[in-house]
Every structure is written in C-alpha cells, then in structure tokens.
Amino acid sequence: MGHPDADSLNGTLASEYERGALEKGREVRRMNIGEMNFDPILHHGYKTIQELEPDLKAFQENVLWADHFVVFYPSWWSTMPALLKGLFDRVWLPGFAYNFIHGGYMWKRLMKGKSASMIITSDTAPIIQWLVFGDTTNELRKGILWFAGFGPIRVHKFGYLKHFGMWRRERLKRCVYNLGRKAK
C-alpha cells in the first residue's frame, strides 16, 4: 500500500481488496510503505547502487512471487507520494525489473507474464484531473510497470473524495472489495 499512513482511506481500501482476494482463495502478501524501513533517496543516482535494506529485499521477493501486483496510492500533486516513488527508485534495478541489452538501446522486460492493478484516490474528480493535467498515471503505469513487462495493467481511479458522503465511501469499499474478489 503506497500511502505513508496505513490508517487512511487507501489503507481501508487495501484491506477491502485483500479481504475479497482472500475470500476467493487467493494468496496475498501485503506491504504497507509507511511501515517499511528504507532510505528512499538515491544519494548517487544509479552510478553506485546502494545496498538494499531488508524491507526492500522483501519487497523484491514479494514482487517476484506475485502473479498480480497491486498498488494503492493517493494522487498528490497529480502523481504518487514521494515515498512510493523512492521505493521504485531504489528497487526497480537492472537484473530485477529489466536488463539493458544491445548497448543500452533496448531492454529485456523481466516481469513479463505478470499483471498489475493501480488503485488511485484523489480529492479531484478523475475526469477533471485528466482534462487539466492529462494522464497522471503514466509515470507508474508505463514508466515503471510496463517498462518492466507487466501487462495487462488495470487502472482504477476514484475521485472527488473530499465530498464523498459515508454512503459513497461504503459503496467505494464494496467496489474495491469486488475488485479483490475478481483478481487473478
């Protein structure tokens, strides 16, 4: 779960998804980014690979184990929270997610055969966000997941949350629970 606060709407939605998947007999491994211990900063870019902390190694193991990878996060300033971006900066490395070939002009996508879902919340209605800012999922959907070979990648955006009444939040929880039940 990519929200730094597990006690958030994103945490609740991740729990609903997990409950739906478990009730359908799926195996689930969940990691909450706010409970992970790692340095999200690339202090030297990629010219020197930093030693991965145990939580980052566990994250990589879980991604390799999974047939379907799901990430929940709020859209903050039309992108993912910095801590989530730092996670991908640190773990999405050559030899894990991809390998460059032919002098670096092409790459081998090491996550082929895996699918992914992105569940994104926002205080802005998704259509307004798209009209004003364009496709705000591109960084994660294409630049990270597709680049590594995930496909299909399903995007579920839920917005205008600031103005959701309790009945709409309950409907949203049921919707995400049902996504978990349908997960492959």
* Mean pLDDT (10-residue bins), the chain, 184 residues: 70 92 94 94 86 96 96 87 94 92 84 95 73 78 95 90 72 90 82
Predicted confidence at residue 4, as pLDDT, reads 64
Cα(158)–Cα(90) distance, rounded to whole angstroms?
Answer: 28
Q: Summarize the chain as % helix, strand, coil (round to 5).
A: 45, 20, 35
Cα(33)–Cα(55) distance, rounded to whole angstroms?
Answer: 9
Condensed to tens digits (0 to 9), the pLDDT of residues 42-79 reads 898 888 888 999 999 999 999 999 999 999 999 888 78
Domains of the chain: 9-182 (3.40.50.360)
> How many CA atoms lie within 13 Å of 83's alpha carbon, on the beta-carbon side?
16
Predicted confidence at residue 30, as pLDDT, reads 95
Cα(39)–Cα(82) distance, rounded to whole angstroms?
Answer: 12
Condensed to tens digits (0 to 9), the pLDDT of residues 78-92 reads 788 999 999 999 999
Cα(139)–Cα(128) distance, rounded to whole angstroms?
Answer: 19
Residue with tokens 């002098």: 103
pTM: 0.88
